[in-house]
A and B are shown apart, each in its own frame.
Chain A
Amino acid sequence: MAVIVNKSFLHQATLDIGADTYTSAFRDPAIVPTTTEVSIVDASGNSIPFTGTTTYVFTASMYQDWTSTGLAKAWAAAEGTQQTIKYKLPGVQGVFTIIVIIKPVQVGGATNAVAESPISLPVVGKPVWAAS
């Protein structure tokens, strides 16, 4: 049996939205899967688990930017549209392409802290991996 060395990495993704790169607009980005689970107990008493279809959401904290080039401003205007995000991981970990539905982001927040908005956007279908 081979010993596989795990190539773990520091998570430092780059994010392209449409044709532009917005990496510095986010921290802690993630594509989060949710899978429903049920289990039934049959007549013999055995528990049989089932899983449903996985859905995904794109989560992050966005640094608000309401200037002309700001993503926060752009998303407030683009509510309900679908946009493509290319989520590139370091090295040869690859690129995940997702299509998300845009929602407006929170304005403001804590005083004397950098203005951030929590992001949670539904992903259409599944992430598509490609080599980087």
Chain B
Amino acid sequence: MSSKNVLREVRQHLKDTIKPKLPTRWRVFPTLTAPAKLTVPAVYVEFTEVSNEVAGKPLAAGRVAASFELAVIIPETAGARAEDNADAAVLSLIQALDNSDQLFWGPSATKLRLESGQLGWRIPVTVLTSTVPDTTT
């Protein structure tokens, strides 16, 4: 784990981890921002839970599992084209998550539709983090 992967900075850490692996024009919001008027796909990071367990096993003192919901939203609002773009967007996000260390997604992603009409996907992500920075790695 990098020394920046600590609980108090874990939202920013998650953003910094996945942003370089996503298409460059995408936007990533590490906070609960109200959806802006989108022109490009956007990923919203919702920090929902901290836990001392991963896969039912308790963690060592100092380790924390942080749970997130990532919502990837595309700007298009209707039509087969919009749905194709939404499905392509979730694939890009899954590939970015699969290529990242010390986190995993799943078990499943679900499709969503905002009141304003945009399509997207919601993916649960678990990040292993710590209460204090690791000093030796």
Contact = CB atoms under 8 A, between A and B. Distances in A.
Interface of A: 23-27, 63, 67-69, 110, 112-114, 116
Chain B: interface size category = 10 to 19
A114 B54 contact: yes
Given A67-B136, A67-B137, A69-B136, A113 B57 contact: yes
Contacts of A63: 60, 63
Nearest to B103: A112
A48 to B, nearest CB: 44
Contacts of B59: 114
Given A113-B55, A114-B54, A24 B60 contact: yes
B117 interface: no
B136 A114 contact: no
B127 to A, nearest CB: 12
A24 B106 CA distance: 28
Interface string B24-47: 000000000000000000000000
A24 B54 contact: no
A25 B63 CA distance: 11
B104 A112 contact: yes
B62 to A, nearest CB: 6
B63 A114 contact: yes
